[in-house]
Amino acid sequence: MDDVQQLFKRHTYTAKISVAFFYGVLVSIAVNFFWTPGHIYSSGVTGLAQLVNTLTGGLGVLHIGTGLGLFLINIPMFFLAWKQIGKSFTIFTFICVLFASVMIRWIQPIHLTNDPIICAIFGGAVNGFGTGFALKNGISTGGLDIIGIVVRRKTGRSIGTINIAFNSLIVISAGFVYGWPYALYSALGLYVNAKVMDITFTRQQRMQVMVITDRPKTVIDSIQNHMRRGITIVHGAEGAYRHDEKTILFTVITRYEMDALETAMEESDPKAFVSISDTVKVLGHFYEPKW
């Protein structure tokens, strides 16, 4: 049994390292092939590293490239994550940031286009997919991700305002450095990046599920065997057509858990009526798995 657990751990570690490497390749493509030629700034710490690269460009030996800047800016984040989140999380975040920094420096850009709109859209899409894919596989890409996790654990709140303020400064910087049209192009890139990341990383998208069934115990057991979710039971419901007794079950899941829910329902009550709708906001305790 111990051998099987060790093998599973090694497989998990190998998979996460592979994902981190894949992210590093994608972010380097976004930076070197699209953002840099198009004078577009990214969001978060990557955008700050690009800004540092631009501002130190004429300082000779003091020049800090985007790859090196990305790593240096993340160093205090590593210490914060080590103390507040966990060692395993910090190690994989370190590996992810290291791959990104190295790949940005090593992968030589291929000139595709200097059109800022194309560069903003495709750079944002490539980076958004890479970031979302990393998050989906349980790996943080560092930077504001770490601050967001710490703040959410301490206060239960997101850092949406901080993200908006930070990225607004990046966009304004793009305007000062390259001209105000480029601030708008960078804003377009940030929008595309966020949308693609949301499509790829579905764990933060919450959905309300209503199940109408005449086999409530079987359904509850099946759902809770497949995912860690609380369920509210409403007894005494009645079907309007046959006037047979029904039970209504309510729960909230993430879009990431949709496949698990479908499997649970297929196993427990394939004939149950299931309604799923997007949830705008959840107040109170909602379980989120640790990294």
pLDDT of residue 291: 54
Cβ(35)–Cβ(123) under 8 Å?
Answer: yes
DSSP 226-266: HS----EEEEEEE-TTT--EEEEEEEEEEGGGHHHHHHHHH
Q: Which of 205, 223, 213 minimizes the C-alpha distance to 279?
A: 205
Alpha helices, H only, the chain: 2-29, 36-38, 44-55, 66-84, 87-106, 116-136, 144-155, 160-178, 180-200, 216-226, 258-268
pTM above 0.85, yes or no: no
Point out which residues pair with 206 in neighbouring strands: 254
The DSSP letter of residue 215 is -
Q: Which residues of the chain have pLDDT under 50?
A: 4
Q: Which of 106, 130, 108, 113 minimizes the C-alpha distance to 44?
A: 130
Beta pairing class for 206-213 and 273-278: antiparallel
pLDDT of residue 4: 47
Which position has the token pair 């495709």?
122
pLDDT of residue 44: 86
Alpha carbon of 175 to those of 171, 183, 257: distances in Å? Answer: 6, 4, 41
pLDDT of residue 156: 60
What are the tokens at 270?
């394939």
CA distance 171 to 175: 6
Can you list the domains of the chain with their CATH numbers?
Answer: 2-200 (no CATH), 206-278 (3.30.70.120)
Cβ(141)–Cβ(71) under 8 Å?
Answer: no
DSSP 135-176: HHTT---STHHHHHHHHHHHHS---HHHHHHHHHHHHHHHHH
pLDDT of residue 37: 92
